[in-house]
């Protein structure tokens, strides 16, 4: 080895040494964060879980929704991301939900029923009404569906503006 190669190797060792020193300086002290409890699939979901999933419903737009006359309870429950039993329970509790039943007893929801179910879902899950409060709201408010449609359109506009803001 000549002198030039030795100086290059020393520079490499010095560079590695300083890099290790900066790494140790940059790393913060290890602080143990409390372990978060894994989300359970069993039992009733917490209010936080309900709040997170309340905006994730995937109902097709009206043009597509009104192309079919009837939807099965399975399809409807998948759109709302709830159990079929909950949809059946809401049917017994709210008079505005009246799905058709065949001879076998299977429920088939019309697009109007899906819209009404969306209104009920909004009252119970997003606005946090109780069952009794939602029933009372639907009884007293003759224009509940119009107000709900207005709220939905305003939320679409809000989403559009948020997307526009994100692109700027």
Please give the angle made by the CA atoms of 54, 86 and 155, to the nearest 5 degrees: 25
CATH of domain 47-148: 1.10.1660.10
The answer to whether the beta carbons of residues 113 and 97 sit under 8 Å apart is: yes
**Buried-exposed string 57-66: b where 16+ CB fall within 10 A, e elsewhere:** bebeeeeebe
Per-residue pLDDT of the chain in tens (168 residues, 90 and over written 9): 565 666 555 555 555 555 555 444 555 555 555 566 665 667 776 767 766 666 667 787 778 888 889 999 999 999 988 899 999 999 999 988 889 999 998 999 999 899 889 889 988 988 888 999 998 888 887 676 677 777 778 888 888 898 888 988
Domain parsing of the chain, residue ranges = 47-148
Q: What is the pTM of this model?
A: 0.59
Cα gap 109→27, rounded to integer Å: 58
Model pLDDT, residue 138 = 84
Q: Give the pair of three-digit tokens for residue 84.
A: 């079929």
Query: Would you say 1 and 8 are in contact if contact means Cβ atoms under 8 Å apart?
Result: no
Report the pLDDT value the prediction gives residue 103, as an integer from 0 to 100. Answer: 92
């Amino acid at each position: 080895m000549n002198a030039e190669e030795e100086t290059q190797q020393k520079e490499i060792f010095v560079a590695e040494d300083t890099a290790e020193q900066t790494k140790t300086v940059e790393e913060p002290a290890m602080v143990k964060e409390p372990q978060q409890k894994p989300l359970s699939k069993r039992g009733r979901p917490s209010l936080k879980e309900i709040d997170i999933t309340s905006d994730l419903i995937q109902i097709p737009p009206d043009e597509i929704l009104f192309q079919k006359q009837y939807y099965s309870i399975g399809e409807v429950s998948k759109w709302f991301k709830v159990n079929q039993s909950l949809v059946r329970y809401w049917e017994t509790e709210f008079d505005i939900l009246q799905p058709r039943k065949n001879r076998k007893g299977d429920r088939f929801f019309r697009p109007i029923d899906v819209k009404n179910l969306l209104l009920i879902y909004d009252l119970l899950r997003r606005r946090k009404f109780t069952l009794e409060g939602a029933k009372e709201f639907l009884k007293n408010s003759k224009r509940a569906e119009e107000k709900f449609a207005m709220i939905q359109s305003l939320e679409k506009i809000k989403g559009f503006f948020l997307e526009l803001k994100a692109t700027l």
